[in-house]
Amino acid sequence: MDFIYADVNATHPCSTEHLMQVWDMLQPNQGNPSSIHPLGRRARLLVERSRRSIAECIGAQAREIFFTSCATESNNWVLQAVCARLFFEKRPKLLISAGEHSSIRVPAAALEKKGLCEVVTIGLQRNGQVDEEALLEQVDQNCVGIFLIHTHNETGVVNDVESLAIEAKKRNPDVWFHIDAVQSLGKVELRSLGGGFIDSASFSAHKIGGLQGVGCLYKKEGRMLSPLLLGGGQERALRSGTQNVAGIVSFGLRAAHALHHPDWLGSAKLATQRFQRRLQKIPHARIHVSLVETVGTVTFFCLEGIPRERLLVAFEQAGICVSAGSACGSGTPVPNPTLLAMGIDAWAATHSVRVSFGEANREAEADRVADIVEKAVFAVK
């Protein structure tokens, strides 16, 4: 069976061409980048080349980029470090949005449970963006950190993080402003991020067509951050552990590709437009966020009155890979917290599906995905 991969927001597949590029660069340079012999120095050069490529994408300096295993590690690192930075007479306050990824929500809740902070969750507007007024009202001298998703992984909605950071720092110049920018790299212009009002940001290679298992943290120069991992002193002693050279090479290549080919997701946007035009003509189909409010490559929708499982089975039988959304450990569908925070009813929040396209997708595939949705609707009648 030929598969259609429409779950790019989960991971953007590596192309064969990219894998060959990584192999060609890695094969003659397979030393440990911490070693002082020639092969180690060569590996180190590859790591530093990738660091520069990623920094260039966000207008940062290479020394502000720290490689990690993934964005989850980066998010946890900053959360824990920010909560441990200073002693407060009362618990420091962390602000997060109701639409945050679990790699923010879960560790923030764990820190609160330990008594290390108070977590204040800011609601969302109907369009999926954070309630900016409510967030800024919570910024005071006891607010130690703001953790906000930049481009949402399920809805594709983009928060205006730069304006929020500027306003937040007027109220408290010391507040740490961190963004989860995993879904932003290659989709949103980020070259004004470095040197601006954002203190840190997390990224992952596999969201832009790189290898899985490598991410990075941007940390603004001058902002102090204690290490999460101790040991060999890699990454300027802030993130010990032998660097994943293959993953880092992959990350750098894909970051450079995204920077120098700003239209690299052009086919994905055309496929998404085509898919949404088809959906708008299908009875019961309900798209939760207007395409103009998103990065243009993702569709989060439900079929009113038709359980999600019926559509997922139809997709699986047709060889189409999509995201089923959140579910508890037993496999029983639960309402999506982001959709609930946007004011969408519990049934729709429970039975929604995400379709996300990438570099390799074409409009013909969007039509095939829409055909399955259409068949699922008319099979019920």
With helix as H, strand as E and coil as C, how does 205-229 read?
HHHCCCCCCCEEEEECCCCCCCCCC
What confidence tier does 49 reach under pLDDT thresholds 50, 70, 90? very high
pLDDT tens column, 125-170: 999 999 999 999 999 999 999 999 999 999 999 999 999 999 999 9
Are 248 and 319 contained in the same domain? no
Q: Mean pLDDT of all residues in the chain?
A: 93
From 260, 293, 324, give the residue that closes a domain.
260
Contact call for residues 86 and 116 (beta carbons, < 8 A): no
pLDDT tens column, 232-287: 999 999 999 999 999 999 999 999 999 999 999 999 999 999 999 999 999 999 99
Ranges assigned E (strand) in the chain: 4-5, 65-68, 93-97, 118-122, 143-149, 176-180, 200-204, 215-219, 285-287, 298-303, 320-321, 352-356
Are 85 and 231 contained in the same domain? yes
Instruction: Please count the structural domains in the chain.
Output: 2
From 238, 260, 282, give the residue that closes a domain.
260
Cβ count within 10 A of residue 80: 17
CATH code of the domain in which 289 resides: 3.90.1150.10
Are 179 and 44 contained in the same domain? yes
Pairing of strands 118-122, 93-97: parallel
What confidence tier does 334 reach under pLDDT thresholds 50, 70, 90? confident
Catalytically annotated residues: 328
CB-based contacts of 283: which residues, under 8 Å, 6+ apart? Answer: 377
Whether pLDDT at 330 is above 90: no
C-alpha angle 133/182/229, rounded to 5°? 105
Are 240 and 276 contained in the same domain? no
Are 39 and 104 contained in the same domain? yes
Give residue 73's domain range.
31-260
Are 168 and 219 contained in the same domain? yes
Are 148 and 183 contained in the same domain? yes
Are 248 and 275 contained in the same domain? no
Cβ count within 10 A of residue 261: 12
From 260, 282, 303, give the residue that closes a domain.
260
CATH code of the domain in which 41 resides: 3.40.640.10
Q: How far apart are CA 312 and CA 7, in angstroms?
A: 13
Burial of 38 (0-12, 13-18, 19+ CB in 10 A): exposed
Q: How far apart are CA 208 and CA 71, in angstroms?
A: 13
